[in-house]
Chain A
Amino acid sequence: MRLLAAATGYELRKKIQFRVGFLVREVLNGAVEPLVMLFVYRALYRSAGGDGARLGGWTYPEIVQYVAGLLVVRKLVFNERGLELSTEIFEGRVTKYLVMPFPYFVLAQARFVQFVGLQLVVALLVWGIGYAAVPEHWLVPVSGLATLQALALALLGSYCCFLVYFTINAAAFWLDVIWSLLVMAAFVILFIGGGTIPVSQMPEGVADALRWAFPYWTISAPIELLLGRIGTPEFLRGVLVLGGWLTVLETVRRVTWRRGLARYVGAGM
């Protein structure tokens, strides 16, 4: 644990080295698309008759609150830029960790812990700024329990994302370039998780299918919990679905890492 704490402190220092960079990468990142979509929604609802119109079970003010939730919850979702593993593999920098008396994965987990710690603060900051600026449109959680449940789902889902990105990074043992796979995964996670439009606003068959995937429980479901649109039964289902995914993803990660290490050539040695 001491090792994890030390590594986390080191990762944190790296993150906030450049102030503007920090603001851009950690605070503003992920805010653009949802805000732009608000304009699209406004035009759409206008053509449907105004704020009172209900499209796919959502009114425009509810969509605004969903977008507010999106701005906050997305901060907690581990992103594709959070690991440098593939670069470390390409450049042979993994070597130095392999001879140290701890598994490399601990260092990667430290990056996840650092991410969560920092992003919880950022998420709180974003929520506070939004609430201070537009309290009447902003998302206010229906209860403390809902907040805790939303947080639990978002963090479990975030760890699923971490495992996905770790595994893709480990594909660098086989492939020369993997950034496109990372970007692709990020696209898919975001889209099917409700990062562009709420999953429940998608066609019914699509939405039902996506409720079996971890991105929905990472992005859309926590916001719906905060809005009071879903409750404890759905939360429990989410925990089960995420637990299943965690098991599968962790197994895939272990296998990929073990097989990848067998191919490691330690470039630069």
Chain B
Amino acid sequence: MLAIQRQYVRIGWIRKSQFRVEFINQVLMDCVFYVSFILTFEFLFELGGSGDAALDLGGWTRPEMRLYLGFAFVSDAVLMTLLGQQWHFGADLKDGKLDAFRTKPGPTAYLYFFQRFSPEGLTNLIIASGWLTYALVGLEPGSVAHGWLLPLALLHTAFVQIFLVIGLACFELFVLHSGIGHLVSHIAGSLGERPLEVYPSALSRFLLFVLPVGATAWYPSSLLLGKLDLPFAAVYPLATVTFAWVAATVFRRGLRRYDSAMG
């Protein structure tokens, strides 16, 4: 799989070298997304007047929220870098474009979803990491409880992001021609971009254990800031692994519903 991934990366760069303006546009597009998000929260905190602790969002102060957004951006950039093909899944299903992947050796989900490695996504990953670093540096000294967990937290974020894509793609498989996968992805993504504490507790639990978008930004940032109990922090990755297994299984079964644009 690593050899195939290497080729996907190579292809991604070749493709982008042919569409250079598009490369710049997409980097800019994600930057606009980041800026609009940052401004939204900066404007909201600004409503409380000066001082970082004047207002908070479910216990998240302005500097903590910056860290939270850093993880949300990194997580989004991972998605864009490796799994950009997911946005085409609904249309590709409709057009029967999974045919070629169904007959090739290797997991269909891997061959399909990873085929579009995005150099601009990687560029944005660097930008997002820059914001994450800025947010970490801007925190009060001592507020980062477990900084050494950062690499593990990032790996966990990428892992969950991959299986979220596969899990959400199942909606398209079961409700074809609907674009519902897009909608659910959008809902899940939006919910995950805000701290879980702002939601009712039932919804928070849903976002942690059923559709674990909470694992993409909330878990790693809470972990680093020491907001989590140790037992929960240690056991939670098991829930995401279970989700990954369920998502992969449902996707495999869902492929039975693929009708390949009846020919």
Contact = CB atoms under 8 A, between A and B. Distances in A.
Interface residues of B, number: 37
B146 to A, nearest CB: 25
A39 B29 contact: no
A154 to B, nearest CB: 21
B36 interface: yes
A80 to B, nearest CB: 12
A136 to B, nearest CB: 19
Given A20-B178, A21-B177, A43-B58, A180 B22 contact: yes
Interface string B11-38: 0000000010110011011001100100
Contacts of B182: 24
Contact of A201 (B26, B33, B43, B55): B43
B227 to A, nearest CB: 15
Interface stretch (B69-77, B136-144, B155-163, B192-200): B192-200
Contact of A183 (B29, B180, B186): B29
Contact of B39 (A36, A184, A191): A191
Contacts, number: 96
B244 to A, nearest CB: 25
A55 B47 CA distance: 6
Max chain B Cβ within 10 angstroms of own Cβ: one of A20, A39, A175 = A39
A43 B180 contact: no
B22 A39 contact: no
A20 B43 contact: no
Interface in B176-231: 177-180, 182-183, 186-187, 190-191, 193-194, 197-199
Chain B contact residues, majority secondary structure: helix
A20 B47 contact: no
B179 A39 contact: no
A259 B19 CA distance: 22
Chain A contact residues, majority secondary structure: helix
A75 B37 CA distance: 22
Nearest to B61: A47
B39 A39 contact: no
Interface string A169-213: 000000111101101100110010000110001110010000000
13 contacts: A32-B186, A32-B190, A36-B193, A42-B198, A43-B57, A43-B58, A48-B55, A56-B47, A181-B25, A184-B32, A188-B32, A196-B36, A196-B40
Interface of B: 19, 21-22, 25-26, 28-29, 32-33, 36, 39-40, 43-44, 46-48, 55-58, 175, 177-180, 182-183, 186-187, 190-191, 193-194, 197-199
Given A33-B190, A180-B25, A184-B32, 16 more contacts: A24-B179, A36-B190, A36-B193, A39-B194, A39-B198, A43-B58, A47-B48, A47-B56, A56-B47, A176-B19, A177-B21, A177-B25, A178-B25, A183-B29, A201-B47, A202-B43
